[in-house]
Amino acid sequence: TEGKIITCQAAVAWEKGQDLSIETIEVLPPRAHEVRVKVEYTGVCHTDAYTLSGNDPEGEFPVIFGHEGAGIVESIGEGVTNVKVGDSVVLLYTPECKECKFCKSGKTNLCGKIRATQGKGQMPDGTVRFRCKGKELLHYMGCSSFSQYTVVADISLVAVDPSAPKDRTCLLGCGITTGYGAAVNTAKITPGDNIAIFGAGCIGLSVIQGAVTKKAGKIIVVDINENKKKMSFEFGATDFVNPATLPEGVTIVDKLIEMTDGGCDFTFDCTGNVQVMRNALEACHKGWGESIIIGVAAAGKEISTRPFQLVTGRVWRGCAFGGIKGRTQMPQLVQDYKDGKIKVDEFITHRHPLKDINKAFHDMHAGDCIRAVITM
Ligand code: NAD
Ligand code: AHE
Ligand code: ZN
């Protein structure tokens, strides 16, 4: 099929706030340094819902969402050397070119090579590979995994062990890697550290997993949804606090400081709520506590705190994709999953065929869903 247009099904977001619509679309062949992938499974992340809602300043329509995808290379464009037809791959919304200033810095996993066009929903040459009903559709986060076939830049995917089940490895494309990496890679938790995690969705539960790996001391989960308690403990949390049930006059910050003899060594925002981000910072230990922002806040939202919080040694930082370099580190994460060192299956609470993808968005809002996996 190399060089030919493929006709397939995809979930199209025609406009903000509307259900996705299953359409027959055309997927153009990959150009130079591009790869066309047969997507087999995709997860649905809170960030897909966020951009669909219209709260993402970069969100434009019509578009094909999805950034937690796993599949098989269908064809490659000129000059592609890192993957070949038939390879099993995981899509990478944080690409890795290995040659830009960011990639070479050794200080970040962010890659600058295609960020500008990716943010506009375009391929690196400024055009798109999707058509439907005579209209061009935009790409999303360099992935667009809600289509049975997609085209991505060659730096936006990584070949992985083909024996690893793709209905699980897709979740390494965002949620699981993001939280795990934030704990292990960004925070660099050390044994005995007391930590608090705000928000026990896929991201927060993955932070627990990283904290357990690093032998943290107290692993305190803070969530307003009581249903998250059981799962938090199953993942290895030592405590669960529902801020809504605290006595009158006791704030979540007071409570965490009391539980940890002065404050947490690390806290993680996995909610995207800016007031929660402030609480997470202020629950850090004076002198050294670090708060890591993972949640994505809506357009126009800003964080604030008294600068005194930083003057007295607390640190505010953040990370994308857990600080993980996808092409370099993903194969090892897949191996760790195969070796039973990191949980993936336990995150999957719902499954749907592509035609029912809107159910995955409704599941997310219902509160009992960690990850829904879509069979393409
Ligand atoms: P999710 O909706 O599954 O989980 C969020 C959890 O936060 C829920 O359990 C909810 O009950 C809880 N929560 C909401 N408000 C709260 C509050 N005020 N106090 C305490 N808990 C509260 O979402 P998710 O898929 O786990 O994603 C979490 C956030 O991380 C989202 O904002 C998402 O966009 C972002 N995200 C960021 C990255 C990154 O690379 N930085 C990657 C993936 C997702
Ligand atoms: N477009 C949004 C920003 C969204 C955002 O922060 N995305 C995270 C990944 S969330 C994955 O579920 C990210 O990787 N950010 C780094 C980057 O370069 O986008 C906005 O607010 O403009
Ligand atoms: Zn995501």
Q: CA-CA distance, 304 to 40, in Å (whole number)?
A: 42
129 is catalytic: no
Residue bearing the CA closest to ligand 1, atom 34: 47
- Would you state the structure tokens that stand for residue 305, as one six-digit string? 């705190």
Domain residue extents for the chain: 6-173+344-375, 179-320
Q: What are phi and psi of 241, to 5 degrees?
A: -125, 125
At residue 209, φ and ψ (nearest 5 deg) are: -60, -40
Q: What are phi and psi of 188, to 5 degrees?
A: 55, 55
Instruction: Given the residues 8, 100, 117, 213, select the one marked as catalytic.
Output: 100
Say which ligand is closest to the CA of 279: 1
Q: Is the pLDDT reported for residue 367 higher than 90?
A: no
* pLDDT beyond 90 at 3: no
pLDDT at 366: 87
pLDDT value at position 365?
Answer: 86
Q: Ligand 1 mean position to 213 CA, how many Å?
A: 21
CATH superfamily of 6-173+344-375: Medium-chain alcohol dehydrogenases, catalytic domain (3.90.180.10)
Q: What is the DSSP string of 122-187?
A: --TTS--SEEETTEEEB--TTT-TTBSEEEEEGGGEEE--TTS-HHHHGGGGTHHHHHHHIIIIIS
ipTM of the complex: 0.98
Q: Is residue 133 scored above 80 in pLDDT?
A: yes
Phi, psi of 13 (to 5 degrees): -100, 105
pLDDT in tens, 283-330: 999 999 999 999 999 999 999 999 999 999 999 999 999 999 999 999
pLDDT single digits (tens) 72-123: 999 999 999 999 999 999 999 999 999 999 999 999 999 999 999 999 999 9
Ligand 1, atom nearest to 275 Cα: 18
CA 364 vs CA 132, 347, 361, 373: distances in Å: 28, 13, 5, 12
pLDDT tens string 200-222: 999 999 999 999 999 999 999 99
User: What CATH number belongs to 179-320?
Assistant: 3.40.50.720
Residue 15, helix vs strand vs coil: coil
Q: Are the beta carbons of 371 and 44 closer than 8 angstroms?
A: yes
Pocket of ligand 2 (CB under 6 A): 45, 47, 56-58, 94, 110, 115, 174, 296, 320-321
Mean pLDDT of the chain: 97
Is the predicted pLDDT of residue 1 greater than 70, yes or no? no
